[in-house]
Chain A
Amino acid sequence: MESMQHTAIVGLVVVACLASAATAETRREYRYPVGPKASVTVDTEYGSISVKPGTTREVVVVALIHSDKAKIDISQEGNRLEFESHLLPGADEQTGRVDYEVTVPPDTTLNLHSSNGPISAERIQADVAVEGATAPVEIRSVGHGHVHVKTMKGTITLSDVRSAHVEITSISGDVHLNSVSGPLVQVNSGSGRIYYDGDFGSGGDYNFSTHTGDIEALIASGASADFTAHSMQGHVQSDVPLKPKENNRFPVEVGRSFFGTVGKAASEVILKSFSGKIRLKQR
């Protein structure tokens, strides 16, 4: 009898704890009609941000607040919307977490920030600025705007980004660029590796730089680019037959640098590293 009472008490406590945890997690939905070229900022210290395009001229934000230790401040100035998570006393990475699922018109400018993420945006035709310390960042099918990404160590993946001004800075996060092209594609990484897989577009400037990280570029057949690679203390290698430039301004340092063109040299590609390896390969 005593044993049954004990079990019942333990069971009630467990149920109470579960119920408490369940009620602490809150789902909120916000809807705001916006005009063309709206701007949406989402700033959360902890939590994921996912942005997708909608079919109406409405910004829909679904926020999952993981505890009562966090709250959301929302401000609207005309076409500009800001969602900002605030931490309350005692909040930590778990209890202060707020996850956002955002749906916006495709021409909406985005400004996204989360320390630990993950952060993702897809099918947006406008400027996208993302900052995440350790957050992995994924941007897909974005174009016709600026794409600026900054992370401390979060991995950055861009796929199918076209006609964009791309600027990426990371200290130790790897950077993956798949089918990324535009008038300017610039990546600055410290120890993170840079992988590029694509055709380098037409008429763009591609500038990839690392300190200790390796750079690997896989070029598609039909690419047209002028390549310059130099690693000051690392090794460079081109598996792609490059046509020597007619007027090489600089002597080639074997193993440290290479220069040459593929196709009609429509784009300019500069790969440089302080001590990382650089490799150019054909897809």
Chain B
Amino acid sequence: MTCSEVQRVLPEMMDGAPNNELQAHLEKCPACSDLVAELELISIEAHQLVESNEPSPRVWLAIAAELRSEGLIRDPEAKPGRPVLVPTERRRWNAWWLVPVAAALLVAASYVGMRKPATQIAEKPAVVAPANAPDLAAQSNQQKPAPQVAETKRPVPIDRSLDEPSVSAPVQVVSTEDRQFLDDVGQRSPRMKAEFESQLRAVNSYIRDAEAYLKQNPGDEDARQHVMAAYEQKAMLYQMALNHIQ
């Protein structure tokens, strides 16, 4: 089995299906072995995320950044005949482009899981968990990235508004996580809430645009990279909010 074949069977492997050839290859190939180990780590930690305040979202962002810096998450194969901006030789792992999406999901999930009163010395009102918090945890569980990587090969929407069919429809910040995130920021600073809300609307709009384009052009690797970039921005926004309220 070659590295490119590993790439094809990776989703099944992450789904738990045994593959002797794959195991044999992983034993001989440190690069593939390391990558699979990191993906498994993400999967395992994602399961623990809702139950624990640790690890910090920084860990996931660091993993994504590390993979990105190594060129491992801009690797989808080019569809012949379409302009693609990253040379094919850099693309080794189709599934890895989902890592920033996973990072964004994990940051959002950890945001829900880690929500706690700000460590600000000020005795400001503590953040009150909404009545539907258990539902949110369940939603976060459903949005764990690794199983989605295993089950599907398409970007996973984090915002329910992204499922709306019309690209030109007014952009709404409708997901529960987004609202919770904005409420928490607003408790610290109403002005910053307005700023974050404006940026969040923009990023959700980018995600929706790019995903709609990708849905129409599933083989377009540039569209996939734009989805990835938009999710990276959303992850960054959540990270900034976490820093802001803690």
Interface residues of A (CB under 8 A from B): 45, 71, 86-93, 113, 115, 131, 133-134, 150, 152-153, 165, 167, 169, 171-172, 184, 188, 190-191, 209, 211-212, 228, 230, 232-233, 249-253, 256-257, 270, 272, 274-275
Show 14 residue pairs from A and B whose CB-CB distance is below 8 angstroms, ordered by the A residue: A113-B243, A133-B244, A171-B202, A190-B202, A190-B233, A209-B225, A211-B226, A212-B206, A230-B83, A233-B213, A250-B81, A250-B84, A272-B226, A274-B213
Q: Residue B236 contacts which of A87, A93, A169, A230 (CB distance < 8 angstroms)?
A: A169
Inter-chain contact A251/B236, CB cutoff 8 Å: no
Q: Give the distance to chain B from A135, nearest Cβ to Cβ, in Å.
A: 11
**Chain B residues touching A, range:** 35 or more
Q: Residues of B contacting A250 with CB < 8 Å?
A: 81-84
Q: Of residues 170 to 223 in B, which have CB atoms within 8 Å of A's CB atoms? A: 189, 191-192, 195-196, 199, 202-203, 206, 209-210, 213, 220, 222-223
Q: Residues of A contacting B203 with CB < 8 Å?
A: 171, 190
Inter-chain contact B226/A209, CB cutoff 8 Å: yes
Inter-chain contact B192/A270, CB cutoff 8 Å: no
Q: Residues of A contacting B196 with CB < 8 Å?
A: 133, 152
Complex CA gap A38/B86 in Å reads 37
B106 at the interface (CB under 8 A from A): no
Inter-chain contact B244/A232, CB cutoff 8 Å: no
Q: Residue A272 contacts which of B65, B191, B225, B243 (CB distance < 8 angstroms)?
A: B225
Inter-chain contact A152/B244, CB cutoff 8 Å: no
Complex CA gap A275/B213 in Å reads 11
Complex CA gap A133/B85 in Å reads 30
Inter-chain contact A172/B226, CB cutoff 8 Å: no
Residue of B nearest to A152 (CB): B199
Given contacts A188-B229, A257-B83, contact A272 B222 (CB under 8 A): yes
Inter-chain contact B122/A274, CB cutoff 8 Å: no
